[in-house]
């Protein structure tokens, strides 16, 4: 958003309703504030504002899946997780993975690239970011693996230890026919000169 963003947003919504991104209540309870990031550089760099509203009228069967299919203890200090990703919607959808290792845990390898890039920081949290842009949907799943290194002594010994959190974000760019009335009315209030690109996004956060 540019320098006029705050004035435009507050001219459309009541000042008390337009909340700066880093002041959202979810910043205290969710990974990366529970925000549907699709462009880390763009979204973190600029000030964004959020207005609470009803959830989108999303058809769950269109959601790309991110499902754990296997977990393998490769050594005393290394564990591999395998996930299946499937894209089932014939339209413009982007997915993003925000992978945040717990304290004392490191992501040391993955099947996406030969090396693992460094983490990014937001809201005092460190995480790896992956953006996935799909072609045509198909039934064949895409299996991805992540290897985590950790010190067993620093984790609970009850068999329920979690090594990392994942935020699985899916953004629909062509979903106008599913916009809620509240969302549609909000978009219509923007002035003609404002460049508005509406999208519908879903965030699922899970610990593994």
pLDDT digits (tens, 9 = 90+) for 122-166: 999 999 999 998 776 666 789 999 999 999 887 766 656 899 999
Question: What is the rounded average pLDDT of the residues 106-113?
Answer: 97
Q: Do 67 and 84 form a contact (C-beta atoms < 8 A)?
A: yes
**Which pLDDT belongs to residue 17?**
79
CA angle 30, 34, 37 (to 5 degrees): 140
* Radius of gyration for the chain, computed over Cα atoms and rounded to the nearest angstrom: 19
> What six digits make up the tokens of 34?
């529970």
Provide CB contacts within 8 A for 67, sequence distance 6+: 83, 84
In this predicted model, which residue has the larger pLDDT, 113 or 53?
113
Helix, strand, coil fractions of the chain, as percent rounded to 5:
20, 35, 45
Distance, CA of 35 to CA of 23 (rounded, Å):
12
**Which pLDDT belongs to residue 16?**
73
Question: What is the rounded average pLDDT of the residues 199-207?
Answer: 93
Q: Does pTM top 0.85 for this prediction?
A: yes
pLDDT digits (tens, 9 = 90+) for 63-72: 889 999 999 9
pLDDT digits (tens, 9 = 90+) for 5-30: 677 777 777 767 788 888 999 999 99
Question: What is the rounded average pLDDT of the residues 164-193?
Answer: 88
Residue 174: name the closest of 94, 120, 64 by CA. Answer: 94
Mean pLDDT of the chain: 87
Number of neighbours of residue 166 by Cβ within 10 angstroms: 22
């Amino acid at each position: 958003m540019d320098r006029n963003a705050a004035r435009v947003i507050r001219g459309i919504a009541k000042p008390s309703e337009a909340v700066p991104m880093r002041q959202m209540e979810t910043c205290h309870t969710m990974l990366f504030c529970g925000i549907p990031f699709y462009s880390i550089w763009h979204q973190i760099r600029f000030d964004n504002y959020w207005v609470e509203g009803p959830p989108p009228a999303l058809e769950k069967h269109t959601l790309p899946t991110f499902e754990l299919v296997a977990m393998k203890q490769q050594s005393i200090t290394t564990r591999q997780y395998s996930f299946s990703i499937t894209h089932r919607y014939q339209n413009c959808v982007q997915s993003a993975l925000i992978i945040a290792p717990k304290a004392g845990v490191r992501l040391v390898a993955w099947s996406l690239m030969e090396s693992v890039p460094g983490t990014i920081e937001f809201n005092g949290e460190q995480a790896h970011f992956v953006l996935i842009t799909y072609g045509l949907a198909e039934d064949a799943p895409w299996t991805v693996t992540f290897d985590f290194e950790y010190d067993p002594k620093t984790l609970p010994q009850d068999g329920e230890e979690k090594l990392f959190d994942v935020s699985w974000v899916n953004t629909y760019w062509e979903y106008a026919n599913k916009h809620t009335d509240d969302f549609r009315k909000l978009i219509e209030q923007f002035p003609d000169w404002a460049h508005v690109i509406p999208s519908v996004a879903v965030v699922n956060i899970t610990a593994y």
